[in-house]
Structures are given as C-alpha cells and as structure tokens.
Amino acid sequence: MNNFVYDIPVKVYFGENQLGHLGEELSKYGKKVLLTYGGGSIKKIGLYDEVVAEIKKAGLELFELSGIEPNPRIDSVREGTNICKKEKIDVLLAVGGGSTLDATKWMAAGACVEHDPWDFFSKWAPVEKALPVVTVLTLSATGSEMDCGGVVSNPETKDKIGRMARPLLPKASFLDPTKTYTVSPYQTACGAADMMSHIMEVYFDMEPGMYMLDCFMESMLKTVIKYAPIAMKEPDNYEARANLMWVSSWAINGFINGGRQIAWSCHPMEHELSAIYDITHGLGLAILTPRWLEYCLDETTVSKYYQFGVNVFGIDPKLDAMSVAKKSIEMLRDFFFETLQLKSTFTEVGIKKEDFPIMAKKSCGGDVLPGFKPLKQDDIEKIFEMCL
Ligand code: NZQ
Ligand code: ZN
C-alpha cells in the first residue's frame, strides 16, 4: 500500500429515530437554516414535516428551496446561492438523494464567493470554503452523504461536471434506512449499479498489495448483489435497506482508495450520456460497465477479473483465468439486466450514434482518459458501439 492520510470527519447518525439530534447538529452553526429538497418525495413520506418540526423545536429560523432536479442544474445552485447571500444563511440542510445533496454542497460553496457558481466547473475556480452542510439521505446510491464531491449539469452548454473539494464535506449526515422504503424498484436498481460502479472503478486496478482493501470491496459488492434484489421485492425490508445504505457511504468516502492514484473510467463516460440525454446516472453506468470490462480484458489484466469472478460471483477457481474473467462479465450483465431489470442498451434508452464522437471526446478531455486502461477517443467510441 502507498502512504495515505485517512480523515473523513463526517458525523453519521445511522438508523431509525435519530432525527432528534438534527436540531442540536444544526444549532452548532447558527440560527438560519436553508432547507433544500427535490421534487416532493420528502413530503409524500412525511419526512418534510418531521424535519421542519425538529428545526422549529430547536428555535431555528427556516428558509426553503425546493424543486432540485435529478441531475441537478446549475440554475438551482444559483438560486440557492442567492438565498444564502440574501438571507445570510448559517447552515444548509439537504434532504433527499444525491442530486439534492450535490446541488446543496455547491450552493454552500457559491455563498462564499462573488463569482457565478458555474465558474467552479468551467474555470475550475478555487473552492477555499463553504457554508456548513448537514444532510438527511433518502436514497442509497451516490455516497454524497459522506464525500466531498458534487456533480452539476448545465443544459445550456450540455455539460455535466463533477468535482471534489474538501470544504464540501457534510458536517453530519442522517442515514435512516426506513426513509428509503419508498424508493422505487427502478431507483433502487440504479442506486445499486451506481454503488457497484464506485467500487469497481477502484477495484479494477493492477496495483499489488491491496489485499485488505480488495477483500473489503469484494464484501461490499457481495452485499449489494445480495440485498438490492431483496429491497426491490420487499421495499420495507430494513436489513436490506440498511446494508445498502451503509455501502453507499463507504463505497466512495475515500477509505477504499488506500493511497492509490485512482482515475475513474465509467463515470466520466456516463456523465457525458447524462449531459446530453438526462438519463439516470446508475442506468448509464449499468449499460457501460460490462462493456468497459470486456474492452479492458486481456492477458495483462485477466488476473484481476479472475479474482473478481471467484471472490464476488463464486465462479469455480479451477477454471482457467480467461474463462473465469469472461464468465464474471456475463454474470455482472445478468445481474444488471436480468436481476435488477435495467435496460441493457443505448438503443433502448434513445442514445444515438451521431453523438458518440462528441461524448467520447469530452469524456477524455480530448486527450486520454487514464484509468484501469488508458482510453483515447476512439477507444471510448468503440465502447459506446458495444453498448448499442
Ligand atoms: O426529487 P424527489 O422528489 O426527491 O425524487 C427523487 C428523484 O426523482 C427520488 N427519490 C429520492 N428519495 C426518494 C425518492 N423517491 C421516493 N422515496 C424516496 N425516499 O429519486 C429520484 C432520483 O433522485 P436523485 O437524487 O437524482 O438520485 P441519486 O441519489 O441517484 O443522485 C444522482 C445524482 O448524483 C450524482 C449523479 O451524477 C446524479 O447527478 N452523483 C454524485 C456523486 C457524489 N456526490 O459523489 C457521485 C456519483 O457517482 C454521481 O455522479
Ligand atoms: Zn456514481
């Protein structure tokens, strides 16, 4: 393992009936709270009322911003930033899935600068500070509740860009699995694919000496494979929802990197699909990942696939390495497209070949997408063709 610093200072309240601590957490940062949420699912599940009651009980002043879109738009970030500045907000409370959390993090950063928040993405303007953010998660998927990243879309420029910056780390996150009971089977499946991708983007790497972290990642992958189908069939199965929720956070909070210089592959490609077609992030990843794995498989990488096939899917270790590798990709496809019932091709979701060159060019920044295997524009176009 390489040297690394492990420092993830997000306070997690996990489990049922933890919202009683919300007031005390928010009060640490001041009196004025901006509550942000999406299209209304939190009202349907009664969470909005619970959160507002806690804020009132703590004697805090409440401001609200609703309507944050899936694949959140820069305009929502701008709106939140303006409220923060105008009302001198002390702390932001994001209640929802990754989209609400991500947009809120960037509002918090935008509130501390004079320039347009899109400059964080288009000009890579420095992120030196942000207002404090507290989250209440309602969908297990992105890990935004425990990481310092956020992804924002700009429909005008057809860009969807993610960026990590330490000041964006939430101060505290409330993870109550019962709040995910109403997540649809489709969003549960997309969330599962997203978490698995976060793990596989790191796992598929040829750096030796990562035994402990590889085992940890394999157990997280097995956890998703075991519990996602159960959560789809039995939405209020606490054990399934709880296991998925905790994987969501640990898949991307930095722990599994172990000092590796990780460059991701499927995420940059997927963000270009979502940027043009506004598709669900996890669905795009499910379509891309098996094809990416197929494309990167050769004699130099096969040992990692063998390890994956044997340890995650339980394939017979006596088979030769290439057969295990191919079978592992097949089993991953079956899991995404049969068990999770996700659409399996670009054609089915309306992604057209004419956009491949621009999407591929942007995925690799016009140069090379470093990662498990470095990919140039024509490699990425070939992977896209495999997805048709
Ligand atoms: O908007 P509402 O009404 O809340 O409905 C949402 C939305 O329609 C609904 N939902 C959420 N919780 C629910 C619920 N419906 C019923 N019951 C509940 N308890 O689900 C829909 C999707 O929500 P969204 O927040 O968009 O999903 P997700 O959590 O998958 O977030 C996706 C976004 O996160 C980004 C993605 O690119 C995408 O923009 N990512 C963020 C990352 C990060 N911060 O590190 C990493 C990821 O790789 C990812 O890129
Ligand atoms: Zn993701």
186 burial level (CB within 10 Å; 0-12, 13-18, 19+):
middle
Query: Three-state SS across 90-137?
Result: CEEEEEECHHHHHHHHHHHHHCCCCCCCCHHHHCCCCCCCCCCEEEEE
* Mean pLDDT, the chain, integer: 97
The reply to whether ligand 1 has any atom less than 6 angstroms from the CB of 268 is no
Each residue's pLDDT tens digit, 86-133: 999 999 999 999 999 999 999 999 999 999 999 999 999 999 999 999
Interval between CA 198 and ligand 2 midpoint (Å): 6
Pocket test for ligand 1, best of 77, 99, 285, 288 (most atoms within 8 A of CB): 99
> How far, rounded to the nearest angstrom, does the alpha carbon of residue 260 sit from its chain's CA centroid?
19
Interval between CA 23 and ligand 2 midpoint (Å): 30
Atom of ligand 1 nearest to the CA of 102: 44
The reply to whether ligand 1 has any atom less than 6 angstroms from the CB of 249 is no
- d(C-alpha 135, C-alpha 95), whole Å: 6
Question: Is the separation of the CB atoms in 20 and 54 below 8 Å?
Answer: yes
The reply to whether ligand 1 has any atom less than 6 angstroms from the CB of 151 is yes
Return the residue whose CA atom lies nearest to atom 15 of ligand 1.
183
Asked whether the predicted pLDDT for residue 77 surpasses 90, the reply is yes
Angle at CA 366, nearest 5°, toward 263 and 387?
70
* Mean pLDDT of the region 159-177: 97
* Mean pLDDT of the region 321-335: 98
Residue where the block lists tokens 């299209």? 39
Question: In this predicted structure, what is the pLDDT of residue 59?
Answer: 98
**For residue 291, what pLDDT band results from cuts at 50, 70 and 90?**
very high
**For residue 209, what pLDDT band results from cuts at 50, 70 and 90?**
confident
pLDDT > 90 in the chain, percent:
97
Interval between CA 282 and ligand 2 midpoint (Å): 7
Return the residue whose CA atom lies nearest to atom 22 of ligand 1.
70
Interval between CA 324 and ligand 1 midpoint (Å): 34
* Mean pLDDT of the region 6-24: 96
pLDDT > 70 in the chain, percent:
100
* Mean pLDDT of the region 69-98: 98
Lowest mean pLDDT among 2-11, 69-78, 125-134: 2-11
SS3 14: strand
pTM, two decimals, is 0.97
The reply to whether ligand 1 has any atom less than 6 angstroms from the CB of 104 is no
**For residue 262, what pLDDT band results from cuts at 50, 70 and 90?**
confident
Pocket test for ligand 1, best of 120, 139, 283 (most atoms within 8 A of CB): 139
Question: In this predicted structure, what is the pLDDT of residue 21?
Answer: 98
The reply to whether ligand 1 has any atom less than 6 angstroms from the CB of 70 is yes
Nearest ligand by distance to the CA of 169? 1
Asked whether the predicted pLDDT for residue 196 surpasses 90, the reply is yes
Lowest mean pLDDT among 63-67, 76-80, 195-199, 255-259: 255-259
Pairing of strands 368-369, 375-376: antiparallel
Each residue's pLDDT tens digit, 133-150: 999 999 999 999 999 999
Measure CA of the first residue to CA of the last residue in the chain; give whole Å: 39
Question: In this predicted structure, what is the pLDDT of residue 361?
Answer: 97
